[in-house]
Amino acid sequence: CQSLPINLLFQLLGLSIATLSTVTHYGLHFTIISDISLESNSYRVIHHAAFYFGICLSMTLILAALLSSAATVRESQCLTAMGFFCFALAFCGLIPAACWRYTHSTEVEDSMMDVYDLVYEEVRRNASSFRRHELAAIHDAFLCCGKHSPFGDMANVESKTCPFGQVRDAGQDCLQQIQDFLKKHMDFVFTLLGITIGFTIYGMILTSFLWFSIHFSSNLDRKGKYILR
């Protein structure tokens, strides 16, 4: 019964991952970039893949916690083994995700800034009303204004797309703002991944110990019992 609070902690951890995945997928900053990005840009694929991975991971952790709780109460070896399998499955998904974070640390950041560069340059060249609204939406979401560029006609673009009342010299460079925002978000995601990996390893150890405890206790209960014929 001492493992029941731990299982509750796993459920809260799974709910936290599901909440973070939902916020990342439906958050204003991310949806604007995803809707504007082209099919050739990798951001939209990463955006959807991160959401589905987070939801599957959270469901796996919650299921593992429920199975472990049921196994503790009923002292079932089968449920304990299923709980261990769920923890192991979550661990096998977390390790590649953490490795991907290291090996592709700038891919998400570069793809988001590429989307902004594309929209900004199209507005600068032909002042398309459709793209101008998209650029203004990005400026409103990230609270930024334009970007540093060697071209001399930037003030005209920014005066039409920057938030009302925001002065160009006082405004934040959008590329830098996107980079800072994403860095903070990814640091938070990576911290949650690290905590989840640690608790997942602990969950595997806990379910293994529970399985052996149930196994040996059931064998001890059989000793000394005789059947009369």
Q: What is the pLDDT of residue 153?
A: 53
- Which letter, b or e, does each residue of 38-69 get, where b requires 16 or more Cβ atoms within 10 Å of its Cβ? eeebbbbebbeebbebbbbbbebbbbbbbbbb
Contacts of 1 (CB under 8 A, 6+ apart): 72, 73
Tens-place pLDDT, residues 113-132: 999 998 988 888 876 667 88
- Round to whole Å and give the CA distance between 195 and 13: 9
Tens-place pLDDT, residues 164-176: 655 444 557 889 9
Report in angstroms the alpha-carbon separations of 208 from 4, 10, 57, 138: 15, 16, 21, 50
Could you tell me the pTM of the whole model? 0.82
DSSP 53-75: HHHHHHHHHHHHHHHHHHHHHHT
SS3 content of the chain, % helix, strand, coil (to 5): 80, 0, 20
Tens-place pLDDT, residues 64-107: 999 988 888 887 888 889 999 999 999 999 999 989 888 887 88
The two tokens of residue 13 are 């951890």
End-to-end CA distance of the chain: 38
Q: What is the pLDDT of residue 28?
A: 92
Looking at residue 163, the DSSP 8-state letter turns out to be: P
